[in-house]
Structure 1
Amino acid sequence: MSGHDQPFELPAVGLGTWQMRGETAERGVRDAIELGYRLIDTAAAYHNEEAVGAGIRGSGTDPGELLVVTKFPEEDAGREREVLRTSLGLLGVDKIDLWLVHAPLDAAGSLRIWEQFIKARDEGLVRAIGVSNFLPEQVDELIKASGVVPAVNQIAFGPRYYDADVAPHHAAHGIALQAHSPFSENDLAHPVLRGIADRHGCTVRQVLLRWHRAHGVPVVVKSVSPTHLTENLDAAGHPLEPEDVAAIDRLGINPTRGQPA
């Protein structure tokens, strides 16, 4: 067996849908796509795949222009194919662009799930497979045991969890690192972040997204507010000063130990 052919290309900012339900989720997805979002991230555990699918269809955008991401709940190990078929049906798509293991089990448990992911990819049910909330050593174990490299690892990467070794580790494997929970997992009132935001004439949220961009790490951001959705996209194009990035780097308190999102 072999890994994927090339690193998975992810947009700098994608839409996260955690805790978005029903009509709110449908409208949020539709609005985000109309504003220019091209990656839509959900999970079986969010119980909103049907609404997300309705939002995708409601946008009028060809699904082929989007990256549709969903996650498999690790506690459903052994039911991979059933859960995948359910996700495909609820989302109303023929293929999942990126299917992630939502969080790790022990090494043997993660490997059993991963083997089913490989089969689904090889059968064309999903375009690419990856993981979420895996530590670097857990990624290494999975690659060593399976011979297949995850296309993506989605983790909490923000200042609270910043570890300078994480991005180079993933890059060395050709794994795209993607960040979740940039706002909920960080202190938006922190004086360092507020000071940088004031100097740049932007929001703390935009500072956090620009910090991720400075590290070359794309982000999944949850919002249903058109104003915030627009601000989040705008943040991607305005770099921080190197000294600002370094100041935010120093805020880390708990490297790599993110919570599942």
Structure 2
Amino acid sequence: MDTVKLNNGVEIPQLGFGVFQVTDLKQCKQAVLDAINSGYRLIDTAAAYQNETAVGEAIKESGVDRKDLFITSKLWVSDMNYERAKKGIETSLNNLGLDYLDMYLLHQPYGDTNGAWRALTEAYKAGKIRAIGVSNFYADQLKDLELSSEVKPVVNQIEVNPWYQQKQEVAFNQGEDVKVEAWAPFAEGKHDVFTNETIAEIGKKYNKSNGQVMLRWLLQRGIIVIPKSVHQQRMIENFDVFDFKLSDDEMKTMATLDKNESQFFDHRDPTTIEQIFGSSLAQLK
């Protein structure tokens, strides 16, 4: 398994397993067990996913030494201030049944992010979290947090896939020594990405699927990636991406697929923010 070093010296597997939208707790537990048995060591969950307990049960039953796993969770908007964040961290630790988290992220750039970041920083210094970062932060939001804090985020988890390649955002984050971690690396199959002929043509050369080519492309951009599947055979396929490398020309070909548009929603659209996060923000007033 390839690893990358975060800006605080902690090493993280570059390929992990995500559990977003796996809301059936029995299914989630089995999926995490299958992923760990398939070789994954980075597991990504979040308070908002409401499956931390299932992830924790799978970790316990896996039999894998805790130090060999890298467990990430995230703080939701409803807890985005100093006092709530302190409680949110403890809740995640309790749900997961862990003494410490390897990484904890601010899930969205809304609410009192500076106050919440102060709570994460304290937990980091206390050894409850090995690394702290953010998710869905644009360049200016990341820079603002950096300038107002003594601890720099190690990761920014953002949407990156062939249709939304985020070239400028990726370059900015990497220039700040903040690792990019891609959510929705397959764009949830939108625009027939799994059968796209351009990607398939590249895959034929290496006897790889479209999904494997996409993961390899992200890895070669220096991006951490956390694909999700509840099917073990697909997990194994997704993990089998370290025995080939795309050429410079193939990387350029992949770059031509960029539609430069989110496949989900605009984090800066006021209506979207109100619709998706409004109820959580109201609790902070």
1:19 to 21, 24, 27: 21
185-194 vs 236-245, which moves further: 185-194
Describe the superposition over 1:25-63 as per-residue Cα deviations: whole angstroms up to 9, x where unpaired.
111111111121110100000000000011111110011
Indicate how the Cα distance of structure 1 residues 138 and 36 shifts in structure 2: closer, same or farther if over 3 A, else same: same
89-98 vs 77-86, which moves further: 77-86
Indicate how the Cα distance of structure 1 residues 141 and 258 shifts in structure 2: closer, same or farther if over 3 A, else same: farther
Matches within 5 A, 1:1-261: 6=8, 8-20=10-22, 21-78=24-81, 79-105=84-110, 109-185=112-188, 187=191, 188=193, 189-254=195-260
Instruction: Kindly report structure 1 stretches of 4+ aligned residues shifted beyond 4 Å.
Output: 255-260
TM-aligned CA deviation for residue 81 of structure 1: 1.5
Q: Does structure 2 retain, via aligned residues, the 8 Å contact 1:7–1:151? A: no
Describe the superposition over 1:110-163 as per-residue Cα deviations: whole angstroms up to 9, x where unpaired.
212211211121222211110011112211111012232101111112222213
Match of 2:283 in 1: none
Task: Please give the alpha-carbon distance, in whole angstroms, between the structure 1 residues aligned to 2:53 and 2:33.
Answer: 13
Query: What TM-score do the two structures reach when normalised by structure 2?
Result: 0.83
Identity %: 34
Name the SS for the 1:6 alignment partner.
coil
Q: Does structure 1 retain, via aligned residues, the 8 Å contact 2:74–2:104? A: yes
Q: Does structure 2 retain, via aligned residues, the 8 Å contact 1:133–1:258? A: no
TM-aligned CA deviation for residue 173 of structure 1: 2.1
Q: Does structure 2 retain, via aligned residues, the 8 Å contact 1:70–1:100? A: yes
TM-aligned CA deviation for residue 232 of structure 1: 0.9
RMSD (Å), alpha carbons: 2.1
Q: Does structure 2 retain, via aligned residues, the 8 Å contact 1:161–1:252? A: yes
Q: Which runs of 5+ in 2 are unaligned?
A: 1-5, 268-285
Describe the superposition over 1:230-249 as per-residue Cα deviations: whole angstroms up to 9, x where unpaired.
11111233211222211111
Q: Which runs of 5+ in 1 are unaligned?
A: none
TM-aligned CA deviation for residue 5 of structure 1: 5.7
Name the SS for the 1:165 alignment partner.
helix
Q: Does structure 2 retain, via aligned residues, the 8 Å contact 1:157–1:258? A: no
